[in-house]
Amino acid sequence: MTETHHPAEGGFRSGFVAIAGPPNVGKSTLLNRMLGEKISITSRKAQTTRNRILGVVHRPGAQLIFIDTPGIHQTEKILNVRMVEAALSSLGDVEAVLFLIDAAQPDPPSERMAVAALEKLRTPVMLAVNKIDLVPKPRILQIIDEWRHRADFRAIVPISARHGDGLTPLLDALVAELPQGPPYFPEDAVTDMPERFIAAEMIREKVFRFTGQEIPYSVAVTIEAFDESRSDLIRIHAAIHVERDSQKGIIIGKKGAMLKTIGEAARKEIERMVGTQVFLKLFVRVQKNWSRDGRALRKFGY
């Protein structure tokens, strides 16, 4: 069952929507699907998203500006504390909150923490029940019924971010909560993030993808050079920061094979984003315990 509002009649509507929820429920996948373009990185590892990513969705008569937030969870690590603070701080500055849960893999502790944060808000909250493609229909109806009693949701919409199912009623429900007003961004804008930031995120994603469980979250990427002086080629130098020499060895790999694999995959994705050839040079640097160092966290933008 889908509970939605129909978009209200009237003038143009625009506003900000925060995508919130526990880690690894598909927030970044959903944002990329709604945009039709990849700006937020994804991986099977929880807490892939560290910064607030802004994406702009254009609809007839409306513009929705989505903020993809890090997963809300209990943590004591300084890096993760900063990430959760970033997620919670964005919830009070928007017109609506889109709260996402995973129908296939519930996470009760993180869900309770997230619901507690939502209860303090006066902002309208929509619930999207994601990954319905992995769950039998009777179970989906049961989940919707359970969540209807947990919080005061303006709409509950079952979706599959991976396949795009349910996105039209979800966007309709969100547009209905936006105030009337002019668009914030031009029609061709999909994000306010600079290309060099997205390039760094794409490199970090490939590190996660190709190193599997061997490399923990203590990886950061900084862009040292982003040279656009030629119209047919962008030269990018990027540093991959790790905390231990053993991690450096894993990322470089035997005779540099792993670093080459990461670089080639990242370069192809960056080329699709910028629409021209890219020369990508990667370095790996060890910075001991940077994820516990406040100064290093500021340097890397967290």
Q: How far is CA 45 from CA 48, 49, 201, 207, 251, in A?
A: 6, 10, 14, 11, 17
The predicted pLDDT at position 13 comes to: 96
The residues facing 54 across adjacent strands are 67
Half-sphere exposure of 65 (CA within 13 A, CB side): 22
Whole-prediction pTM: 0.62
Average pLDDT, the chain: 81
d(CA 53, CA 227): 24
The predicted pLDDT at position 131 comes to: 95
The predicted pLDDT at position 157 comes to: 97
| Residue, of 287 and 216, whose pLDDT is higher | 287
On the question of pLDDT at 67 being above 90, the answer is: no
Tell me the pLDDT band of 74, cut-offs 50, 70 and 90: very low
The predicted pLDDT at position 253 comes to: 92
> What is the set of domains in the chain, with CATH numbers?
13-177 (3.40.50.300), 195-299 (3.30.300.20)
The rounded Cα 250 to chain-centroid distance in angstroms is 26
Strands 96-102 vs 233-242: parallel, antiparallel or unpaired: unpaired
Tell me the Cα Rg of the chain: 20
pLDDT tens across 220-248, in order?
888 899 898 888 899 999 999 988 888 99
pLDDT tens across 124-154, in order?
999 999 999 999 999 999 999 999 988 889 9
On the question of pLDDT at 107 being above 80, the answer is: no
Reduced 3-state DSSP string for the chain: CCECCCCCCCCCEEEEEEEECCCCCCHHHHHHHHHCCCCCCCCCCCCCCCCCEEEEEEECCEEEEEEECCCCCCCCCHHHHHHHHHHHHHHHHCCEEEEEEECCCCCHHHHHHHHHHHHCCCCCEEEEEECHHHCCHHHHHHHHHHHHCCCCCCEEEECECCCCECHHHHHHHHHHHCCECCCCCCCCCCECCCHHHHHHHHHHHHHHHHHHHHCCCCCEEEEEEEECCCCCEEEEEEEEEECCHHHHHHHHCHHHHHHHHHHHHHHHHHHHHHCCEEEEEEEEEECCCHHHCHHHHHHCCC
Residue with tokens 């035997």: 254
| Residue, of 162 and 218, whose pLDDT is higher | 162
On the question of pLDDT at 272 being above 70, the answer is: yes
The rounded Cα 146 to chain-centroid distance in angstroms is 26
Which whole number is the average pLDDT over 51-59?
A: 77
pLDDT tens across 22-40, in order?
878 888 889 889 988 666 6
